[in-house]
Amino acid sequence: MAILNSVTTMLKDLDYGTLSMEGIAAHAGVGKQTLYPWRPRKGALIMDAVLRIAAEIPDPDTGDVKRDLLIYFTASVEASRRSAPALRGLMVEAQLDASFSEHFRKHFIEVRRRTLLKLLERARKSGQLRKGIVPERTADLVFGALWYRVLVRNGPLDRPFAQSMIDHLDL
């Protein structure tokens, strides 16, 4: 737990490239050898910290699809803002390492996507989703915009961005 606390704290001040296993171990007050059996690579260790932040994202079910989407996406945007430097590094790592890419996709990307698809499917079943809406494409649009902001840094990751994205969905 001290190790994850250290990584999470360090992510507030340092970007992915600046973090090192030595620095993490020193901040956590453990020897570097303590990290390797637990997580042998920096990417896996940082991903654990990002997953901890992402675990705070709710799976709302208020009965109103627009409200649920806004709650979910606003929390996703906030979690992404808090961990943006790490997310950028993890995405780079995923492009360079096929096994890490699979792990990242399975444990981070797909978990977030499944939650959004579940929310949209509930909306479909309750008649709140316009006929012809394809939930998978909607998820691509929503998360594509979020990742664009994270990676390109072309605008803030904030509530107005989340609100505007949900407002633009023609559900």
pLDDT of residue 39: 67
Establish whether domains 2-47 and 57-168 are of one fold.
Answer: no
Is CATH 1.10.10.60 the right assignment for the domain spanning 2-47? Answer: yes
Mean pLDDT of 96-104: 93
Is CATH 1.10.274.100 the right assignment for the domain spanning 57-168? Answer: no
CA–CA gap between residue 154 and residue 96 (Å, rounded): 24
pLDDT of residue 36: 66
Q: Which residues contact 148 (CB under 8 A, 6 or more apart)?
A: 154
Write the DSSP string, 33-96.
HHHHHH-SSHHHHHHHHHHHHHTT------S-HHHHHHHHHHHHHHHHHHHHHHHHHHHHHHHH
**Domain ranges across the chain:** 2-47, 57-168
Buried b vs exposed e over 132-158: b needs ≥16 C-beta within 10 Å?
eeebeebbeebbebbeebbeeeeeebe
CA–CA gap between residue 87 and residue 104 (Å, rounded): 10
| pLDDT tens for each residue of 140-160 | 999 999 999 999 999 999 999
